Structure 1
Amino acid sequence: MTSRYSQAITEDPHAGFDRPGRRSRPRTKERPSYANAVAAQVVTVDRGRYRCRLADGTAVSATKARALGRTGVIVGDRVRLVGNTSGDEGTLARIVEVAERETVLRRTADDDDPYERPIVANADQLAVVAALADPPPRPGMIDRILVAAYDAGLDPLLVFTKADLAEPDDLVDTYAPLGLRILVMEPGADLDPLRAELAGRTSVLVGHSGVGKSTLVNALIPGIDRAIGEVNEVTGRGRHTSTSAILLELPEPGGWVIDTPGVRSFGLSHVTVDSIIAAFSDLAEIVADCPRGCTHQTGSIDCALDSAVADGRLPAERVDSFRRIERAWTTPSH
């Protein structure tokens, strides 16, 4: 005779949770209704917890509903919450829906990595922050971040910091032919030009550690106290201080900034050449006349860009700058 104890340890504890048989009646066809779910936006993500902001400014912590499966939730996502959305300490809501994203900034770990890593959703501007010195600027990295901006459909903005340590002219001249908006900043400088570029927009700040992203955020939002990185005197590289992206509201004249952790490489395996060309409307019309398979680089046979330079339709400097940006897509990340 089998004892209750022996029966308890031999029965399958999951037997009652099997799917119904083919001819059996399903338990229910009803699905949960989220008609009363509350709209919010994801502000930051930390170890499976999502800090969200309601329309009235209430900050709410949330988890992700199991029903979302592998759906990733990233900073900037517009979501809907159920559960306790009071924002009181110790309470937890649940993300049950993620709205379609207007834009997504992506990167890969390196150029051989097939897996895209979405970084930020629903931004409309990307500010590439680069120091003129300490650490020195790396145009190759700037170019790669610009490629990612073009691919994501974000308007690029260049912000060169630490102008008290080095002259900006050479770097500005490098990017001027691309028609980019460029700001040069130094400690204590008037921030009104930067505020004007950020006003009314959602801007993601991207750059190496130590270039001054968090310093700019602290100056733009008094009292926010973002940790500031230092630069290693031996390697010349910045130390990571921000561990995750965070969405922050700007005071008047308004807008939002997303401060991101410093990057040391920017993989572009997800990018296509067509998405780069699409960002340059004047060039896109011309390369339509290129032969099939044209790489648009110097030496490409019958490239229409060379013809446009030869007959004066395009300045050579702009084509050279475009080709440098395009080469960044094919040059291994470093």
Structure 2
Amino acid sequence: MSWWADNDDLDEPYGEFDESAVRVRPNPKGNRPRTKIRPEHGDALNATVLGVDRGRFSVLIGSEGKTRTAIATRARELGKKAIVTGDRVRLVGDTSGDEGTLARIVSVDDRTTLLRRSADDTDTVERVIVANADQMLIVIAAANPEPRTRLVDRYLVAAYDAKIRPLICVTKTDLADPAAFLRSFEGLGITTFTSEPNHTPLAEIADHLVGHETVFVGHSGVGKSTLINALVPGAERAIGRVNEVTGRGRHTSSSTVRLRLDTPRGTGWVIDTPGVRSFGLGHVNPESIVRAFTDLAAIALECPRGCTHREDAPDCAVAQAVTEGRLGETGATRLDSLHRLLETFSARAGTERPGR
């Protein structure tokens, strides 16, 4: 028997349904109506990201002298926008910083700098390391592991591309004399710190970090975490050892962390990053490479229009200057580094040869 046969009072076979008689299929993405109107968050607080751990962000709230830390998550309205250590953000929600509380990051301020790297030179997908740093301290060991000129060149390219001032610190000088290695960078005018046996110039290094946001980078096992622990008591960054068979350092720092540096002259911020054995520049515009070699870039202005500055480039003023000895003893080494990087970039699919 049909349904309406038992409902003789209905005028039509199917009766008259009101809205309450109709089953509404729930929205699979939630029943809340969608809107493009976003809250203004006029009461949001300013904060700085200290570190990132599995979708949770450690943030510093407040100005110097009146600060507190809190844990925050990303607001849905940010979508897939990356949030990294050093970012200046705005918070809402429970910003007390009490145990068990969770604030929300609702916006990210414009960044002054952005240090990036890629997996290799053929990978154009960038991996953001840190935001808003204005200095990079490149930590190198004089031995164990052996210093790598090419890796330092890559750090310098990334630093100059991001408009970050580079510094160099050489550790483990009790194992080898770094003088020959450092001659490769004499033409760049980079401030360099060299540790003596049983002594590291911590005060001198700290003076150059005051008032700055300095990101520390270096090959695994060079002593970067040891240096940070000495500069920032209580940092407790894990210290690794170099494998005696392979000569390679073991990765110890697994995440990027921003640490406060206090000195008699003032404060600064130290950003520790995981040690790396390679530093891809797939995200960098090839024209930035020549500008990174500041001693060569000045002479490159004399090159013919469209000069690639590569090894096979005719009438290259840089190559001529090296041949004539105008760049000193290190000129040939610097030019060789430039050629290697330019050749790597020219081999990338779809990459044009850089000009002046």
Q: Distance in 2 between matches of 1:260 and 1:192?
A: 22
Residue in 2 aligned with 1:295?
308
Aligned to 2:115: 105
Contact 2:115/2:128 (8 A) holds in 1: yes
Query: 2:47 aligned with 1:40, yes or no?
Result: yes
Secondary structure at the aligned position of 1:214 is classed as helix
Secondary structure of the structure 1 residue equivalent to 2:72: strand
Q: Cα offset for 1:133?
A: 1.2
* CA distance in 2: counterparts of 1:281 and 1:330, whole angstroms: 15
Residue matched to 1:5: none
Q: 1:332 to 1:71 in 2, by over 3 A?
A: same
In the alignment, does 2:77 pair up with 1:67?
yes
Aligned residues: 319
CA–CA separation in structure 2 for the residues paired with 1:332 and 1:280 = 16
Match of 1:236 among 233, 237, 247: 247
> Is this contact kept in 2: 1:131–1:161, CA < 8 A?
yes
Contact 1:75 1:247 in 2 (8 A): yes
Distance 2:180 2:322 in 1: 23
Compute the displacement of 1:188 (Å).
3.6
Q: Which residue of 2 aligns with 1:52?
A: 59
Distance change in 2, residues 1:317/1:65 (3 Å)? farther
Q: CA RMSD in A?
A: 2.7
Residue of structure 1 in register with 2:162 after alignment: 152
Q: Could you tell me which residue of structure 2 aligns to residue 7 of structure 1?
A: none
CA 1:280–1:114 in 2, change beyond 3 Å: closer, same or farther?
closer
Amino acid at match of 2:332: D
Distance (Å, rounded) in 2 between the aligned partners of 1:328 and 1:196: 35
- Tell me by how many angstroms 1:288 deviates: 3.3
Paired residue type of 1:208: H
Which TM-score applies when normalising by structure 2? 0.81
| CA shift in 2, pair 1:190/1:16, >3 Å | closer
Query: Matches of 1:112 and 1:198 in 2, distance apart?
Result: 34
- Cα pair 2:309 2:339 within 8 Å, conserved: no
Counting only pairs closer than 5 Å after superposition, residues 1-334 of structure 1 correspond to structure 2 as: 12-14=25-27, 30-55=37-62, 56-186=66-196, 187-252=198-263, 253=265, 254-279=267-292, 283-308=296-321, 314-317=326-329, 319-330=331-342
Indicate the percent of aligned positions where both proteins have the same amino acid: 51
When Rg is computed on C-alpha atoms for both structures, the one with the higher figure is 2
d(CA) in 2 for partners of 1:86, 1:17: 30
Matched position secondary structure for 1:167: coil
Rounded Cα–Cα distance in structure 2 between residues aligned with 1:266 and 1:96: 32
CA distance in 1, matches of 2:140, 2:343: 20
Distance 1:204 1:328, change over 3 A: farther
Paired residues of 1:126 and 1:206 also in contact (CA < 8 A): yes
Structure 1 Cα separation of the partners of residues 35 and 174 of structure 2: 69
Q: CA deviation at 1:323?
A: 2.4
Report if the CA contact (8 A) 1:178-1:318 is conserved. Answer: no
Unaligned runs of 5+ in 2: 4-22, 346-356
Contact preservation (8 Å) 2:293, 2:338: no
Cα–Cα, structure 1 residues 105 and 324, in superposed 2: closer, same or farther, change >3 Å? farther
CA separation of 1:29 and 1:127: change in aligned 2, threshold 3 A: closer
TM-score by length of 1: 0.86
User: In structure 1, the residue corresponding to 2:262 is in which secondary structure?
Assistant: coil
How far is the alpha carbon of 1:189 from its aligned partner? 2.8
> Structure 1 residues 208 and 283, CA, compared in 2 at 3 Å: closer, same or farther?
closer
